[in-house]
Amino acid sequence: MEPPVRLVDLDRAAPPSSDRDQVLVGMATRPREVAGGFDVLLTAASDAPRPWVSCRDPYAAARQLQDAVTRQPAASVALVQVLRMGAALPPSDRLVAESLAYSALQGGAGFRAWLASARPRTPRPAAEPVRLRRHGDRLTVTLDRPWVRNAFDAATRDALCEALEVAVADPSISVVDLCGNGPAFCSGGDLSEFGSSRDPAEAHRVRVHRSPAALLQRCAPKVTAHLHSACVGAGIELAAFAGRVRATADTVIRLPETGMGLIPGAGGTASLPARIGRERSAYLALSGAPLGATEALAWGLVDEIGGCPP
């Protein structure tokens, strides 16, 4: 079997034909037009245009990606395969493809190894994990588990679905503000629930049936997501569906799932590529690197940097 990742120095070599079973990473001193189906493109040039990612040393960054892919080969290859397929799928089908891959990886050795190494966490649920406030034609939807930085658990998912169903069904609502109470917008999936599902097939069925991402796709033009501080995993995956994304200057975005043996599972393989392209989405997910508000604005993942959410 071929190695799960291939690095190509585009300053010295011609692009190879793409391999569906490898993560293909290209590096160059300056951006250029390239063929070959690259999954990530790295350059030393500052302010590089999409799909390139600017970094101080693209060759060192490529080696770091190589190490990350080698640690979690199944998840890394599944990620780029889902991203590649997404361009040819209708928006709703992208969520189904993502969920199928996510469920398959839940039974994989990479996720089991991560789970075995993770420290146990005690669930800290909320009686009302999502709060709604209506004022005229405006609906404010607030994630409200500040003691865990609004970690996204099953109860939060279900409550958010109920809130978004209101936004979808009620034509008198013209503005939806999506906010997070407390020190962070959303710190990602609630780790106390990771590994609790014993039936990945049933988890896929539930994930598709109870999908905040699918509802956000339907009401996106109404929605403004107000980000602050940590926007991790589901926090940015869902927010990126919004018609407008507003972030405070301290916002930090990360996609950590691939390092856990999974891929983004809250819609990120559909929402982020629509805003920043599949190559930059792959870079964020494979590297797990933080993205600050200024760079997120330059990439188009954020539309505006502003003050505190309403």
pLDDT number for residue 1: 74
Residue 146 DSSP code: G
For residue 186, the 8-state DSSP code is B
Is the dihedral angle over the CA atoms 24, 30, 34, 40 positive or is it negative? positive
Provide the pLDDT for residue 307. Answer: 75
Q: Specify the amino acid at residue 123.
A: P
Q: How is 77-113 classified by DSSP, letter by letter?
A: HHHHHHHHHHTTS-HHHHHHHHHHHHHHHHTSHHHHH
Rounded to a whole number, what is the distance in angstroms from the first to the last CA of the chain?
Answer: 53
Q: How large is the angle between the packed helices 212-219 and 268-287, nearest 10 degrees?
A: 120
Q: In tens digits, what is the pLDDT along the chain, a chain of 310 residues?
A: 789 999 999 998 777 766 678 999 999 999 998 876 899 999 999 999 999 999 999 999 999 999 999 999 999 999 999 999 999 999 999 999 999 999 999 999 999 999 999 998 999 999 999 999 999 999 999 999 999 999 999 999 999 999 999 999 999 999 999 999 999 999 999 999 987 778 889 999 999 999 999 999 999 999 999 999 999 999 999 999 999 999 999 999 999 999 999 999 999 999 999 999 999 999 999 999 999 999 999 999 999 999 766 6
Global confidence as pTM: 0.95
Cα angle 8, 47, 23; round to 5: 25
| Residue entry with tokens 């770091």 | 64
What secondary structure does DSSP assign to 289-308, as a single string? Answer: --EEHHHHHHHTS-SEE-S-
91, burial (CB in 10 Å: exposed 0-12, middle 13-18, buried 19+): middle
Q: For residue 34, is it left (φ>0), alpha (ψ between -120 and 50) or beta?
A: beta
SS3 282: helix
Helix axes 58-71, 73-86, angle to 10 degrees: 110
Sheet holding 252-254, edge to edge: 230-232, 252-254, 291-292
78 contacts 17 by C-beta, under 8 angstroms = no
Task: Give all domains of the chain, ordered by start, each with its CATH number.
Answer: 5-71 (no CATH), 77-305 (3.90.226.10)
Report residue 114 as tokens.
């991560």
Listed in sequence order, the DSSP H helices in the chain are 58-71, 73-86, 91-106, 109-117, 154-169, 200-209, 212-219, 234-239, 268-287, 293-299
Q: Provide the 10 A C-beta neighbour count for residue 76.
A: 27
Report d(CA 241, CA 229) in Å as an integer: 19
Report the alpha-carbon distance of residue 293 to residue 189 in Å, rounded.
Answer: 21
Strand order in the sheet with 5-9: 5-9, 23-28, 40-43, 52-54
Q: Which uninterrupted H or E stretch holds 53?
A: strand 52-54
Residue 137 corresponds to which tokens in the numbers above? 């034609």
